[in-house]
Amino acid sequence: MFWQQVFNGLSAGGIYALIAVGFSLIYSIMRYINLAHGSLIMIGAYIGYAVVTATNFPLIPALLAAAAGTAIVSVIVERLAFRPIRVRGVSTLYILVSSMVVSILLQNLVMVIFGPSFRTLPQLVSDVPVVTHPINIARLDFYMMIVVVLSLVSLNFVLYRTKAGRAMRAVSFNPKAAALMGVNTDRVVSLAFALAGALAGIAGIFLGIKYSVYPQLGELILKGFVASVFGGLGSVAGAVVGGLALGVIEVFLIAYGSSSFSPVMIYALLVLILLLRPRGILGRIVEDKV
């Protein structure tokens, strides 16, 4: 029973990690909070839904379509709603407001196109568990974990083994100096948004399969916020740790406590972390130099 709960927690936490990593990636490079990230998750779920109902694609092509589609939407959002504010060099507060507006806009756009009702994706993954002993591993959870691990490993490869990743890290430390090294910062920002969008798309389609697809699905971003604060805002590794930890804690609270009490505990824990260790588990203290 105990290990079963751990597995369930990690499985849910993997999705939180994808959400938190994308969110943290943008924060660490841009130093602003993208409130539209939740809507990107929702968009991913709807792209997955539309693709699967229209073409009967199996899981993997549907995942790729959701990831690619959401990445494109993410890049467009940055171009239209954030970049014009950023290049003017005004307070990032305007970007925060802009991202909130984009979030509401996307939600309403989807509401207009698909209607407000809950939709379910056709069954993409069989119900037969991978194993039943010693713990029950549902096929969907199993695939989900593989995809989460693959996504995070690929992201890590891009960030730490390629010039694009190095450029992203350089921009996160000092955009001006990075530009001076011949790095096209606008392109780096687009790439970061594409990556964050792709991760959101993957998270979205899995959430859509597990639960259902509805315009307010993006509200799950709150879990992503909590996970990235747990792990340390702006730390990509921290976001992974925070996401997994959140998933496990949540499952245990539900299994051994009560499901209605679990959110209360989660947010109480969040407040506690903010009070005792505001930089989270792995966060770095960000010092600004004039």
Partner 1 sequence: MSQATGARFEFHNLTKVFGGLVAVNDVTVEAVAGGITGIIGSNGAGKSTVFNLISGFYKPDAGQVLLEGQDLTGRQPHEIAAAGVGRTFQNIRLFQGMSVLDNVRTALHRSLDYNVFHALLRLPKIRSEEKRAEEAALEALELVGMLEAKELTGSSLPYGLQRRLEIARALAMKPKILLLDEPAAGLNPGEVADLVNLIRSINAKLGLTILVIEHHMDLVASLCQKVFAMNFGQVIAGGTLAEVQNDPAVLEAYLGKGASHA
If the CB atoms of residues 107 and 235 are measured against partner 1, the closer one turns out to be: 235
Looking at residue 217, the DSSP 8-state letter turns out to be: G
Q: Cα–Cα distances in Å, from 202 out to 6, 15, 85, 194, 249? A: 22, 9, 28, 12, 23
Draw the binding track, 179-198, toward partner 1 (x: CB under 8 A; -: no contact): xxxxxxx-----x-------
User: Closest by alpha carbon to 238, among 28, 39, 30?
Assistant: 28
Q: Is 177 in the site for partner 1 (CB under 8 A)?
A: yes
Q: Does 166 bind partner 1 (CB under 8 A)?
A: yes
Per CB under 8 A, the list member of 164, 266, 281, 282 interacting with partner 1 is: 164
Count of residues that interact with partner 1, criterion CB under 8 A: 26
CA distance linking residue 158 with residue 78, whole number of Å = 21
Give yes or no for residue 72 binding partner 1 (CB under 8 A): no
State which residue, 179 or 255, has the beta carbon closest to partner 1. 179
**Residue 88 interacting with partner 1 (CB under 8 A):** no
Which residue lies nearer to partner 1 by CB, 50 or 155?
155
Q: Is 289 in the site for partner 1 (CB under 8 A)?
A: yes
- Is there binding between residue 173 and partner 1 (CB under 8 A)? yes
Identify the residue among 30, 167, 221, 249 touching partner 1 (CB under 8 A): 167
Cα separation, 114 vs 202, in Å, equals 20
Please, which residues have CB within 8 angstroms of residue 133's CB and are 6 or more apart in sequence? none
**Gyration radius of the chain's alpha carbons:** 19
Geometric angle at alpha carbon 264, from 96 and 204, rounded to 5°: 50
Contact between 285 and partner 1 by CB under 8 A: the answer reads no
Neighbours of 219 (CB within 10 A): 15
What is the binding site for partner 1 (CB under 8 A)? 157-158, 161-164, 166-167, 169-170, 173-174, 176-185, 191, 284, 289-290
